[in-house]
A and B are shown apart, each in its own frame.
Chain A
Amino acid sequence: MRDQPLIELRSVSFSYETGRVLADVSLKINPKDYVVLLGANGSGKSTLLKVAVGLLKPTTGAAMLFGRPATDARARERVGYVPQRAVISSRLPATVLEVVLAGRAAQRRFGGFTRAERQQALRALERVGMQDFARRRIGELSGGQQQRVLIARALVSDPELLILDEPTAGVDRDSQIAFARVLRELNGDGVAIVIVAHDLGAVAPDVRRVLALHQGHIDEISLEEARERVGMFVEDHPGHGVAG
């Protein structure tokens, strides 16, 4: 179905042993959306994301991905997911190319990676401007460069929806701007983007919707309201107005 939401949460609540984190949350993410989900530390942003991609099951309510239950592996194959960066160890003995190839692991069950898949991985790296780093060890790269490699890994299976969990935390300003440019191009190519963050940062000029999570409840707010409530920095880039 053409207008089917990519993500749909229907009255989702989620509780850990320590208490309730999400309370009756409903939302829809549509094709080509560019959404930032804002919230303070511990507000449940990452939990919401994990429920949306089927890593956690809601305590009550339903989480749907591409019209299927989010826990359905077939639905998840259309999602590119970039978790918080800390998961990549600096001692990981893996090249940039291998990290990107890992994004294609589920496309076939058995064996190694084919030459065609290596070409696809190189193209994904080219898309984020990291093709010259393919043979480098991932741990040798800066935070911003690693983040771009992780986006390439999410892109290598041609997802329709790209989800990023705090992608610019600890990343320098220049890398944030480069990162925002990559996401802008992807969104222009029709990839829906959902970013979880503390503030809008360098992606502010491109964002179309802002969702704010507070005490387990979610509200859709304007960009202006987002700036006031979160106190983030926003700098307009040449040729890009702030979307409303």
Chain B
Amino acid sequence: MITFIRNFWPALLAASVVGAAAPAIGTFLVQRRLSLIGDGVGHIALAGVAIGLWLKISPLASALGFSILGAIGIDRLRRRAPEEGDMALALFFYGSIAIAVVVASASGNFSVNLFGFLFGQVLTTSLGELITIAALGAAVIAVVSLLYRGLLASAIDEEAATVAGVPVSVLNVFLMILGAVTVGVGMQVVGVLLVAALLVLPVGIARNLVRSFRGTMLTASAVGAGAALVGLFVSNAANTAPSGTIVLVVCALFVLSDGWRRTRVAMVRRQSEETV
């Protein structure tokens, strides 16, 4: 284990940053019923990666740019045409993945480079990449802390928050941008196909364990960071793919937490029936 830590400390740090930052944003997304937005933005990020590789510019920067523009576009589509939202989003998502495949195959990057972004390449995290990931992760957490009041009010009740004078539309754009940045950052660790899991599942776990919104957000971040570290150690011991192992650890914790919640609810019901 010591050797693993010594050799792969940038990977461990990168994984814990993504594990902590993703659920912090995810707490607001889940409450706004935007749980799968990370998945959709991931598709768009992949197109950004393919275009970045083709143009020989930083794939991470290109993915971030595409994700942010895509996330803002998704938000606008959702608001302008809610009744046709599903079809519009499908066009966005599948169009993006098609662009990724076509551009990557035309530029000869299909099998080698693109696969790394699809399924993550955390063990190869360099010091430079770690600094980028840490900076973006810290920025995400700082912005969430700064905008916490408005984000909380919008997550609880968008309509009441609007009437109270909270700039809900502006905060929605910020939330989508933060989600996109998180996907871009998480892509390095667990890959675009699995980053959405880190946005959503730790929030589900925390929601099963604590009552408050703030507690849910902090617990989800702690669970995400912890699961990312445990997943990396398990993958090293079992010689399995790191990204898939991290997400499987989160899935296992979700099942356990849900079992705990159900047991607790059943006990409370039994106690109240005995009292009656």
Which A residues have a C-beta under 8 Å from some C-beta of B?
53-55, 73-74, 76-77, 79, 81-83, 87-89, 91-95, 98-99, 101-106, 108-113, 135-137, 150, 153-154, 157
Decide: B163 and A111 in contact? CB cutoff 8 A: no
Residues in A neighbouring B210, C-beta threshold 8 A: 93
Residue on A with the closest CB to B207? Answer: A93
Partner of B164, one of A93, A95, A106, A137: A106
Complex A-B: 30 CB contacts under 8 Å? A55-B159, A55-B162, A73-B165, A74-B165, A81-B163, A81-B164, A82-B160, A83-B157, A83-B160, A87-B160, A88-B157, A91-B207, A92-B213, A93-B27, A93-B31, A93-B210, A93-B212, A94-B152, A94-B213, A102-B161, A103-B160, A103-B164, A105-B150, A105-B152, A105-B161, A109-B149, A136-B211, A137-B212, A153-B160, A154-B160
Given A111-B145, A111-B148, A112-B148: A94 touches B160 (CB 8 Å cut-off):
no
**Interface presence of B153 (CB below 8 A):** yes
Q: Which residues of A contact B149 (CB under 8 A)?
A: 104-105, 108-113
Separation of A67 and B216 alpha carbons in the complex (Å): 41
B37 to chain A, nearest CB (A): 18
**Does B214 sit at the interface, judged by CB under 8 A?**
yes
Residue contact B163 to A53, C-beta cutoff 8 Å:
yes
What's the nearest-Cβ distance from chain B to residue A22, in Å?
19
B201 to chain A, nearest CB (A): 14
Q: Nearest 8 CB-CB pairs, A to B?
A: A105-B153, A106-B165, A81-B163, A102-B153, A93-B216, A94-B213, A73-B165, A105-B149
Docked CA distance A153–B164 (Å): 10
Q: Chain A residues near B159 (CB, 8 Å)?
A: 55, 81, 83, 87
Q: A136: which B residues are within 8 A, CB to CB?
A: 211
Q: Is the CB of B211 within 8 A of A102?
A: no
Kindly state whether residue B146 has any CB partner on chain A within 8 Å: yes
A102 to B152, Cβ gap below 8 A? yes
Q: Is B253 an interface residue (CB 8 A)?
A: no
Could you tell me if B211 and A106 are in contact, using CB atoms closer than 8 angstroms?
Answer: no
Contact of A93 among B150, B163, B211 (CB under 8 A): B211
Could you say which residues of chain B place their CB within 8 Å of the CB of A150?
160
Contact indicator A102/B156 (Cβ below 8 Å): yes
CB closest residue in chain B, given A159: B164
**Contact in complex: B156, A135 (CB < 8 Å):** no
Q: Which residues of A contact B157 (CB under 8 A)?
A: 83, 87-88, 102
Cβ of B167 < 8 Å from any Cβ of A? yes
A135 x B152 contact (CB < 8 A): no
Bound-state Cα–Cα, A109 to B213, Å:
19
With A105-B153, A110-B147, A111-B146 known as contacts, the answer to whether A137 contacts B163 (CB < 8 A) is no
Q: What residues of A have a CB within 8 angstroms of the CB of B161 in the complex?
A: 102, 105-106
Which of B31, B162, B167, B214 sits near A92, CB closer than 8 Å?
Answer: B31
- In the complex, the chain B residue whose C-beta lies closest to that of A156 is B164
Name the one of B27, B152, B165, B167 contacting A98, with C-beta atoms under 8 angstroms.
Answer: B152
- For B162, the chain A residues whose CB sits under 8 A away are 55, 76
B69 at the interface (CB under 8 A from A): no
Q: Is B101 an interface residue when CB atoms closer than 8 A count as contact?
A: no
Distance between Cα atoms of A89 and B158 in the complex (Å): 12
Residues of B within 8 A of A108 (CB): 149
Check: B45 CB closer than 8 A to any chain A CB.
no
A76 and B165: CB pair below 8 A?
A: yes
B166 interface hit (Cβ, 8 Å)? yes
Whether the Cβ atoms of A110 and B160 lie closer than 8 Å is no
- Which among A87, A94, A135 has the highest number of chain B CB atoms within 10 Å? A94
A73 & B214 in contact (Cβ 8 Å cutoff): no
For residue B148, which residue of chain A has the nearest CB? A112
| B212 interface neighbour in A88, A98, A102, A105, Cβ under 8 Å | A98
Identify 19 new A-B residue pairs, CB closer than 8 A, beyond the known A95-B213, A137-B212.
Answer: A54-B163, A81-B164, A83-B157, A92-B31, A93-B27, A93-B31, A93-B206, A93-B211, A93-B216, A94-B213, A95-B211, A98-B212, A99-B156, A101-B152, A102-B153, A106-B153, A106-B161, A111-B148, A135-B211
Measured between beta carbons, the chain A residues less than 8 angstroms from B207 are: 91, 93
Expressed in whole angstroms, the Cα–Cα distance for A54 and B168 within the complex equals 13
Residues of A within 8 Å of B211, CB to CB, are 93, 95, 135-137
Task: Indicate if the CB atoms of A105 and B166 lie closer than 8 Å.
Answer: yes
With A88-B156, A92-B156 as given contacts, are A76 and B163 in contact (CB-CB < 8 Å)?
Answer: yes
Expressed in whole angstroms, the Cα–Cα distance for A150 and B163 within the complex equals: 14
- State A105–B164 Cα separation when bound (angstroms): 8
Distance in Å: Cβ of B5 to nearest Cβ of chain A? 34
Q: Give the complex CA separation of A106 and B157 in angstroms.
A: 13
What mask results when residues 157 to 199 of chain B are scored 1 for a CB within 8 Å of chain A, else 0? 1011111111100000000000000000000000000000000
Which chain B residues lie closer than 8 Å to A82 at the CB level? 160
